[in-house]
A = this chain, B = another copy of it.
Amino acid sequence: MCKRLYFCIQIKKMKRITINDIANNLGITASTVSRALAGNTRVSIKTRGLVLAKAKEMGYQQNVLASSLRKGTSGTIGMIVPRINRHFFSNVISGVEEILNPTGYTLLIAQSGESFTKEQKAVDMLLANHVGGIIISLSVQTQSYEHIQRAIDRGIPLVQFDRINPDIDSAKVINDNFTGAYLATKHLIKSGYKEIGHFTGTLSLNAYAERYRGYAKAMSESGLKINERFVYADAITREAGYNAIVNVLKEDNKPDAIFCAGDYAALGVLDGLKEMAIKIPDEFGVVGFANEPFSELIHPTLTTVEQNAFEMGMRVAKAMIKNLEGKPGREQETISTRLIVRDSSWRGDSVK
């Protein structure tokens, strides 16, 4: 590798300080140093102080790899999200780090890109890296769950969040999608809209199923009938939202409001309505879901449901830590959502 010594000398990596170095320096043995650093009471308080001081002096840094190898468990938590550049997910990540970092755990993040194969690979990658636990939000494609089971079989803790599979035995943290959707729909009703449609994502994902459930509940509770022709279950992108609204307004029987299960779809709906010169909110109401940053910046500002992503992240991390500490903790937690009323839906009390 290194043909000539004098080349190596300058390139050579600075040798890391190990516990053996400290031990030799202090004239004690490595095991004592190890225990001292761990704060084990079996080593005298005097030696502990000595070791700590010397470690600092020599610039010792634990070799996490060696430690994990010996202990059989690493302080790394793996996290799989569909996309890191989604406002919601990046904020969940921040929330997780908020709790995890101070405890010394480190987070290994992987993206599934909404692809099942990539999700599988991500799980295997995390397992190969001996993560101590896995946090996951399923991709839209995911329909089979052996990869998840593989992780569980390994005995490593699993926490699902947002896009979960209820049948998998693990801790779960979800948004209160039901209530959010319920309130959003109720709000549209209160605002005087009668023919309310719903654009959402695949109902095989619990998040979307719950939003549909909330929508349906609000409708039936107010004696309104759902027109299934106003319901699209594959409309979560801007483009899909646009296509759906254009499509649905072609019919004789038209809706006068749409509750979208995502802000991007709502954005597409607004695009379509503007194109058709339909007045918002006078003639048509729109509500989104997620409170994406753009939702308060567009015109009209978009009524939407806020999910507390950061809070969710913190709860996820806490659930993970609980599991890592050996406490069972297979509970399902729910993070509350909040309706934010803006211009795209509120016609004032007048209509009420």
Contact = CB atoms under 8 A, between A and B. Distances in A.
A118 B111 CA distance: 24
A155 B298 contact: no
Contact of A74 (B14, B62, B65, B294): B65
Contact of A91 (B85, B108, B293): B85
Contact of A298 (B13, B14, B97, B297): B297
A153 B15 CA distance: 10
A106 B129 contact: yes
Contact of A125 (B11, B63, B106): B106
Given A155-B11, A294-B294, A298-B297, A108 B108 contact: yes
Given A91-B85, A97-B111, A124-B61, A13 B155 contact: yes
Interface string A140-174: 00000000000001111000000000000000000
B111 A94 contact: yes
A93 interface: yes
Interface size class of A (residues with CB under 8 A): 35 or more
A212 to B, nearest CB: 27
A69 interface: yes
A124 to B, nearest CB: 7
A225 interface: no
Nearest to A97: B111
Counted per complex, copies of this chain come to 2
A129 B12 CA distance: 20
Interface string A269-302: 0000000000000000000000001100111000
B62 A65 contact: no
Interface in A119-137: 124-125, 127-130
Contacts of A107: 108-109
A87 interface: yes
Contact of A85 (B90, B156, B299): B90
A66 interface: yes
A111 B111 CA distance: 17
A265 interface: no
Interface of A: 11-14, 16, 61-66, 68-69, 74, 76, 84-85, 87, 90-91, 93-94, 97, 106-111, 124-125, 127-130, 153-156, 267, 293-294, 297-299
30 contacts: A11-B155, A12-B155, A13-B154, A13-B156, A14-B154, A14-B155, A61-B124, A61-B128, A64-B129, A65-B65, A65-B68, A65-B69, A65-B74, A65-B130, A66-B69, A76-B129, A84-B84, A84-B94, A85-B87, A85-B90, A85-B91, A85-B94, A90-B90, A94-B111, A106-B129, A108-B108, A109-B109, A294-B294, A297-B297, A298-B298
Given A16-B154, A61-B128, A298-B298, 16 more contacts: A13-B156, A14-B153, A65-B69, A65-B74, A65-B129, A65-B130, A66-B69, A76-B129, A84-B93, A85-B90, A85-B93, A106-B110, A107-B108, A293-B293, A294-B298, A297-B297
